[in-house]
Each structure stands twice: as C-alpha cells, then as structure tokens.
Structure 1
Amino acid sequence: MAASVRATRCSSGHMARVCRRRWCRQCSWTRKGCVNMPKQGFQPFMESPLHHFKLDAEAQPRRADGRIWCNELPHLGYAVLRGDTAEAGFAQLVEQVTGLALPLKAGAVSQGPQGVLMWTSPDEWLLVSHRQRLADWTAQLDAGFAAQQLFAQTVDSSGGLTLAWLGGTEHITVLRHLGVYDFESIPLGHMVSTVLGKATVQVIRLDTDGVFVVFRRSFADYVWRLLRRAAQPYGFAVCQLEARSDHPLFAQLAAPRPSLILA
C-alpha cells in the first residue's frame, strides 16, 4: 500500500507534499538526511575477499612443525586472455608485452619475475600479476590487438578472483580430502582446474613447498573455511608470506600495494 502524503513544511523550509517517512518529493531529502548527512560523498574502497577473517593479525612465521600453513595473497591482478594461436602475431604480442611466453600445452604455466600466465583452455589463458602492472599490460594488449586486427581480447577479472597459498607436509592430503583429482601428479610449472567441495578452483604448482589455489570472490568465504576445516586434523595456521624476488607470485608482495581508496 502506498504511503499517504500530506502538505507540510519540510526541513529545507518550503511547503511540499511529504510522506509518512518524512520524504519531501520536491527536494528529495529526508529529515535524517537534512540533519546528519555528511557533505562529503561516499568514497569507494577496496577490500580483499577474505578481509573479514583478519588474517594479518593471525599470521605467524612459518615453521617446519608438520602443520598446514595457509594465507591469502591479496589484491593481485587477474586478467582472462582470449585469442587464436593460429593467428600470426598473437603469441608474439603477448610475449612482447608481458615477457611471458604463451603456454600452448594443457595446464602449462609460463612464469617470470613479473607474474604467471596459465593455460586454461585452447583459446583462453589466465594472467596473474601486480594489479597496476596488469592494468598496463591489458591496455597495451588491447591496443596491439586492435592495431594488428587480431580476433583477441583481455578481460580484467581482478575484482572477481583471489588466491591462497597452501603448504605444509600434508598439504596434498588436505586437497585429497576435498577433491577427486590426483593432486600429487601435478608436475611443477603446471595447473589444473578442478572442484574442491562445491567450488571450482585452479590449483597451481610452481615448486615443491606448496600450491596456490585460485578461486572466485563469491566463493572465497566457503573455500577458506573448507581448507581450514580439512586441515584441522594436521594442525592449521595462518602463515606470514614474505616477498621473494625469485618467485613469480611472492615477488608481487614486494611491489607497492594498489591504493585501497578507489579513484
């Protein structure tokens, strides 16, 4: 039922028809808004998908004590790259801009000090790097695709994905509890797309210390709780992640974090 209206003097000082909620149809102000609304508009800000777990406060130096260690690498940049490898100039342009060779085999990962480029399907790749660097790359790639008239595109998915590192003696066992894939068979420098619980993820193995799990922002809470619960029998702890210049993903922690205030 529509609220009844009446003519009265609103907070702005003129006569207008005002509903029961004290909303003036003429000036579009509420009584509360006229009195308490700050003059400065809302300023959007960026938060990690797992920020509400306060992982920084819980993190501790990693030790070889048999526990499962895990933490999020927040605020990285993610871009989906689509194109046809049969088109002349496509692979060359990608390598020229990113410094990463385009992986052509299923599950292969191209890695360098500035990030990783992962094969996800015959005509699709996932690019992960520092967020600002990724924005520069995608702009250069799109300009190059247009200049060479290539049937290709980039899609920035930074706001929809995040990544966690999972390590420890029994980290493969934890993954076995959650998925049907033969995780120990993943070669170094490769990734697989699979399901953990009810969430689709990408599991990346770059070294023998652990794996990286990429998952959607909408499933971040679910995946984190799933990993934590499966690891409880072995002992679970949030670890401090240190920047390593020789590592394609940990190196991104050394770069300045993107501004948490969005322009």
Structure 2
Amino acid sequence: MSELSYETPLAGVIAPPGLAISLREVTDRGMIDLRGLASDSAFIAAVSAVLGAQLPLKPRSSVTSGDVTLLWLSIDQWLVLCPRSRTEEMLGRLRAALQGIHSLAVDVSDMRTVIRLEGEGCREILMKGTSLDLLDGNSPPGFCKRMRYAEIAALLNVVDENVFDVFVFRSYARYTWDFLCATAREPARLRLFGSQSAPV
C-alpha cells in the first residue's frame, strides 16, 4: 500500500531569473487557528502557558517566541505559526489546556500557502497589488494585516524590514506566485520618489 505524502501548492516551482527581489515558498509552516475571548483571563493564561508567549492584543500586531509566532487577526482570533512537525503536539496541548474555556483551536496548516519576499523594494512591489500603504511608517517588523491582494483575500506579515510573508488560500497559490513574478521583474522596478528613466 502506498503511503500518503504531503506536497506544497508550489512544489517544484522556482522563481524565474531577472527578479528584483527573492521569492520562495515557505514549506515548513504549521498553522493553528485560535479563537477565544481576549477579556477572558483564563483563556489568555492557558494559551500563554502552552505557547510560552503572551497573545498579542493590539490590532495588526504579532509576537514571536523561539520558533512560534502569534499573529493577531481580529479581536477574538489569532493565527499560531510553528514548525509543521510540532503542529499536532502543540494543538493537543492547547486543546487540553483550554478544556472548559470558551475557545476553538483548529489545525489549518493545509489551508494556506506562504510566499516569502526578500530584498530591498519589496514594499513597492507589494503595493502594485494592494491599496495598503506600506510606506507610511505604520507597517514595521511584526506588523500583520488581512488585505485584498491582486483581487484575492490575503494576509501580510512583515517579518523584518526587507522580509515579507504573504499568506493566501491554497487554491490561489499559483495565481499569486505568477502575479508576484510579473510585478517583481527587474524592468518593472519602481522608485517612487525622484527622477528615473524608463526601462529600455
């Protein structure tokens, strides 16, 4: 009998030459959708004890502790990111700790794919697909926000100054990848301020 094997949405796909930035799929990412009341001290304490970090309560923020990152999604929803190999164990511990507490914890690792952009100019490239202003100083490292990207639902996480993760539903992975490859081409590079010559 053949064994089940996991394949990421962009398996075997590589970035074409001539891009202004680096593009790759993040493949070893486990994701847990966590819901509960931020006003419930028992919920906050139980989650913090399991994850080793305080849940971010400020909108559009995140917290990282070791190999675990917690993204704020709404007033009662967070996305827990961890190595894929730890997802099942972490989910089990969360559910055990949250017994009797109004909450929900679900493994959604296969729901989304994550595309990582790295390099100077990522903000300008991302802004070709969204109305979100990434140059206004309000999106520092740690910032996360749901957005419309190239007309689809997406989630943006600013990992570092020049490192960005874009989360999209699995069925839109190739569409998003192709859109990024087109808008990140070196001839399409933009400098938003100052004079610049048109590409030849």
TM-score band by shorter chain is: 0.7 to 0.9
Structure 2, unpaired ranges of 5+: 190-200
Q: How many residues were matched structurally?
A: 187
What is aligned with 2:52?
Answer: 99
Structure 1 residue 218, shift from structure 2 partner: 1.0
What is aligned with 2:174?
Answer: 221
Q: CA-to-partner distance for each residue in 1:170-206, whole Å, 9 max, x for gaps? A: 2111111111101233122111110111221111113
- Give 3-state SS (helix, strand or coil) of 1:117's partner: strand
Within the candidate set 43, 58, 67, 1:114 is matched to 67
Name the aligned partner's letter for residue 195 of structure 1. Answer: R
State, as a whole percentage, how many aligned pairs show the same letter.
25
Instruction: Say yes or no: does 1:139 pair with 2:92.
Output: yes
Q: Root-mean-square deviation (CA), in Å?
A: 2.1
What is aligned with 1:190?
Answer: 143
What is aligned with 1:167?
Answer: 118
What is aligned with 1:201?
Answer: 154
Q: C-alpha distance in 2, partners of 1:166/1:67?
A: 10
Runs (4+) off by over 4 Å: none
* Contact 2:50 2:94 (C-alpha < 8 Å) held by counterparts: yes
* Contact 1:167 1:211 (C-alpha < 8 Å) held by counterparts: yes
* Contact 2:19 2:184 (C-alpha < 8 Å) held by counterparts: no
Name the aligned partner's letter for residue 154 of structure 1. Answer: A
Name the aligned partner's letter for residue 115 of structure 2. Answer: A
Name the aligned partner's letter for residue 83 of structure 1. Answer: G
Q: C-alpha distance in 2, partners of 1:234/1:68?
A: 12
Instruction: Say yes or no: does 1:45 pair with 2:5.
Output: yes
* Contact 2:30 2:109 (C-alpha < 8 Å) held by counterparts: yes
Structure 1 residue 71, shift from structure 2 partner: 0.7
Please tell me whether Structure 1 or Structure 2 has the larger radius of gyration of its CA atoms. 1
* Contact 1:75 1:162 (C-alpha < 8 Å) held by counterparts: no
TM-score (norm 1): 0.66
Q: C-alpha distance in 1, partners of 2:89/2:147?
A: 30
- Give 3-state SS (helix, strand or coil) of 1:221's partner: helix
- Give 3-state SS (helix, strand or coil) of 2:178's partner: helix
* Contact 1:179 1:196 (C-alpha < 8 Å) held by counterparts: yes
